[in-house]
Amino acid sequence: MSIYLQDIPLNEALARFDNALKKASLSGVLGEETVELHEHLVGRVTAKPVWARISSPHYHAAAMDGFALRAENVAGAMPTAPVILTVGQQAAYVDTGDPLPLWANAVVPIENVEALDKDGQITEDARRPHSIRLRAALPPWSHVRPMGEDIVATQLVLPSGHVLRPVDLGAIAAAGHDRVVVSRKPRVAILPTGTELIEIGQPVEAGKIIEFNSLVLAAQVNQWGGEAVRYPISPDEYALIRQRVREAAEKSDLILLNAGSSAGSEDFSAAVVQELGELLVHGVAVRPGHPVILGMIDRQDGSRCPIIGVPGYPVSAALTGEIFIEPLLARWLGRPPHKPIEIEAKITRKLTSPPGDDDYVRVVAGRVGDQLLVAPLSRGAGVITSLVRSDGIVVLPRGIQGIEAGSRVKVRLYRQPEELNQTIFAIGSHDISLDLLAQYLSTYGRRLVSANVGSQGGLVALRRGETHLAGCHLLDAQTGVYNLAAVQQYLPDQKVRILGWVNRVQGLLVARGNPKNIKGLQDLVREDVIFTNRQRGAGTRILLDYQLSLLGISPAQIRGYGQEEYTHLAVAAAIASGRADCGLGIAAAAVALDLEFIPLFEEEYDLIIPSVYTEDDLLQPLFTLAQDEDFRKAVAQLPGYETSRMGRWIL
């Protein structure tokens, strides 16, 4: 039977896998082991209930330093009618934790008695007096920890399937045990494959990719209670991969075979599984991660080892971990699977979604005013930082083609909901200074999350009340003034303020050594110069058009004017590759790709903030930082940055 990338619904895939696991007797706890309490046990799962062998305390114990006595002997004691007890007969000194003498039924703390010598005078020898005087009565069993106060012998201390925490170890020991029976850790072999992969730390070159999926998968496995074993990178050679899978099956409870899962010429995973056992599933209707493989490998002794073909793209790999590996490990350990906190929120952008798949969208989340909002992050399956930055996942289920901006969605949170109340939302044009700001704000207990939708997108978000601030650098071509006109145009009825932020140098990016000897925009009309442009609407494009009009240059005179890139870095890449001779952009992009930079203009990047939030406690640290020497210095050190306007209210 050949199942070739036929996406099936997630629940159907899980059911097939489940069935095969049951047949192989692999659907419950894999095994048990007894571990001594002082070995590393936190996170392990109890495989048997823990019953108390002894009580704790296992005798009546003094709860205070003082004198053991019988409560009835001091009944009626009052300030004006004190009672005197003779030590050695009616009272005995005890330290906290000492067993109570058999005849006693209460303890009076030492600070509540007057110690007397044999003449009835107050003595300094408080712990060995002749007698003690009490000026208050006390009920029986005062300041005594009765036997079994904590644990009664035979009682259940912990059920099975319990994930051990530090305090649990104390209770197990107090209940008279020195070891505990826990589920055996599932051994998980992780096999990265791909001729293009290089080990971490090796020099990178074009076409080579740093292998890190195995690092992520191993950390996931260990975090979820398994024991990961990373195998070396296997190049895309069928026989080698087959050999390693065969070996791993003999030594492991589960194999994660990474990459080679889709339809490429060197994607061998499915064929290997097919040859060495049974291919159950190839393709699950989830994105990212759809080319998942589920199967069983036959061992020499006739038993079977489950195998998961984990798709190569890093986000797909990590999500495959969460969707397939975590629940399987939970089952093998006998604990409940992880259940994320789910909240409902409003989504800030329209999303389209493949109707055949469950679509896992990474989002940032925060509270703006009284609304909980989520903004989608990059959806590329290769963008590992989208998972790093994400506060949660919105699953757009199969059967829908997308959702409108403003729809309510369910969010599986990666963080505590309270953190969303300390979140400053910045939707608009992104700037590197905001990354620095985020770092500084974290010391004030604030989180800055930003979604880059461009300057105009930020103004739209402000209009909808969906952001605390928007980074903006929109030049008015009539006046040459930044941001004021745009704010008046987009937000005529809204009370907003403009906080001066940074001046950024924009200039021409050219190859090292400036081989075409380009000096300024006037060179763009030269026949031998090829330019590359930014997309219409981008702040840099508006700046270019404005400056060209001042020089009286028409776009038609410029070779490459119609060639549009969407980011500063894409412009830089076009020049680095030799596709173009120059482009307008920021200095940081030149630094990133080792280009030369010809500074030409300063543009003004400001933060637009609704007036209500300028008074809000949430944003105060931002205003503090805008005046902070250290922070301003750090921003000014970014290439091409200047901070003299930072913190000044422009509107």
Judged by the rule CB under 6 A, the positions of this chain that interact with ligand MOO are: 287-291, 311, 313, 316, 381
Task: For the CB of residue 380, give the shortest distance to ligand MOO in the complex, in Å.
Answer: 8
Task: For the CB of residue 390, give the shortest distance to ligand LQZAQKY5 in the complex, in Å.
Answer: 18
Distances (CA, A) of 550 to 164, 544, 553, 562: 71, 10, 8, 20
Structure tokens at 76: 């009626």
| Nearest CA among 454, 581, 455 for reference residue 528 | 581
Q: Which does 194 bind (CB under 5 to 8 A by kind): ligand MOO, ligand LQZAQKY5, none?
A: ligand LQZAQKY5
Cβ proximity to ligand MOO, 189 vs 284, nearer residue:
284
Cβ proximity to ligand MOO, 246 vs 287, nearer residue:
287
Task: For the CB of residue 325, give the shortest distance to ligand LQZAQKY5 in the complex, in Å.
Answer: 15
Task: For the CB of residue 584, give the shortest distance to ligand LQZAQKY5 in the complex, in Å.
Answer: 31
Q: Which does 337 bind (CB under 5 to 8 A by kind): ligand MOO, ligand LQZAQKY5, none?
A: none
Cα(406)–Cα(348) distance, rounded to whole angstroms?
6
- Nearest-CB residue for ligand LQZAQKY5: 312
For the CA atoms of the chain, what is the radius of gyration? 35
CA angle, 473 as apex, 644 and 453 as ends, to 5°? 130
Cβ proximity to ligand MOO, 162 vs 290, nearer residue:
290
Cβ proximity to ligand LQZAQKY5, 311 vs 500, nearer residue:
311
Q: Which does 90 bind (CB under 5 to 8 A by kind): ligand MOO, ligand LQZAQKY5, none?
A: none
Cβ proximity to ligand LQZAQKY5, 313 vs 613, nearer residue:
313
Tokens 């978000």 found at: 461
Task: For the CB of residue 209, give the shortest distance to ligand LQZAQKY5 in the complex, in Å.
Answer: 4
Task: For the CB of residue 354, give the shortest distance to ligand MOO in the complex, in Å.
Answer: 9
Q: Which does 214 bind (CB under 5 to 8 A by kind): ligand LQZAQKY5, ligand MOO, none?
A: ligand LQZAQKY5
Cβ proximity to ligand MOO, 358 vs 431, nearer residue:
358
Cβ proximity to ligand LQZAQKY5, 209 vs 591, nearer residue:
209
Task: For the CB of residue 288, give the shortest distance to ligand MOO in the complex, in Å.
Answer: 3
Q: Which does 259 bind (CB under 5 to 8 A by kind): ligand LQZAQKY5, ligand MOO, none?
A: ligand LQZAQKY5
Q: Which does 258 bind (CB under 5 to 8 A by kind): ligand LQZAQKY5, ligand MOO, none?
A: ligand LQZAQKY5
Long-range contacts of 448-451 (CB under 8 A, 24+ apart): 448/423, 448/424, 449/364, 449/365, 449/366, 449/375, 449/389, 449/391, 449/423, 449/424, 449/425, 450/364, 450/425, 450/426, 451/348, 451/364, 451/375, 451/376, 451/377, 451/425, 451/426, 451/427
Task: Check: CB of residue 365 under 8 Å from CB of residue 372.
Answer: yes
Cβ proximity to ligand MOO, 288 vs 647, nearer residue:
288
Task: For the CB of residue 651, give the shortest distance to ligand LQZAQKY5 in the complex, in Å.
Answer: 46
Task: For the CB of residue 592, give the shortest distance to ligand LQZAQKY5 in the complex, in Å.
Answer: 21
Cβ proximity to ligand LQZAQKY5, 105 vs 269, nearer residue:
269
Task: For the CB of residue 184, give the shortest distance to ligand LQZAQKY5 in the complex, in Å.
Answer: 27
Structure tokens at 277: 């056992």
Q: Which does 197 bind (CB under 5 to 8 A by kind): ligand MOO, ligand LQZAQKY5, none?
A: ligand LQZAQKY5
Cβ proximity to ligand MOO, 353 vs 450, nearer residue:
353
Cβ neighbours for 554, distance < 8 A, ≥ 6 positions apart: 548
Strands 641-642 and 496-510: antiparallel
Task: Check: CB of residue 255 under 8 Å from CB of residue 306.
Answer: yes
Task: For the CB of residue 289, give the shortest distance to ligand MOO in the complex, in Å.
Answer: 4
Cα(378)–Cα(396) distance, rounded to whole angstroms?
15
| Nearest CA among 138, 126, 137, 139 for reference residue 81 | 137
Task: For the CB of residue 218, give the shortest distance to ligand LQZAQKY5 in the complex, in Å.
Answer: 11
Cβ neighbours for 233, distance < 8 A, ≥ 6 positions apart: 192, 193, 194, 197, 198, 199, 211
Burial class (CB within 10 angstroms; exposed 0-12, middle 13-18, buried 19+) of 275: middle
Cβ proximity to ligand LQZAQKY5, 262 vs 467, nearer residue:
262
Q: Which does 221 bind (CB under 5 to 8 A by kind): ligand MOO, ligand LQZAQKY5, none?
A: none
- The secondary structure of 502-539 as a DSSP string is EEEEEEEEE-TT-TT---SGGGGGSTT--EEEEPTT-H
Positive or negative, the Cα torsion across 526, 528, 534, 539? negative
Structure tokens at 530: 């090829």
List contacts with ligand LQZAQKY5 (CB under 6 A). 5, 192, 194, 196-197, 209, 211-214, 258-264, 267, 288, 290-291, 311-314, 316, 381-382
Task: For the CB of residue 362, give the shortest distance to ligand MOO in the complex, in Å.
Answer: 12
- The secondary structure of 236-250 as a DSSP string is S-HHHHHHHHHHHHH
Cβ proximity to ligand MOO, 5 vs 525, nearer residue:
5
Q: How many CB atoms lie within 10 A of CB 127?
A: 12
Q: Which does 428 bind (CB under 5 to 8 A by kind): ligand LQZAQKY5, ligand MOO, none?
A: none
Cβ proximity to ligand LQZAQKY5, 57 vs 194, nearer residue:
194
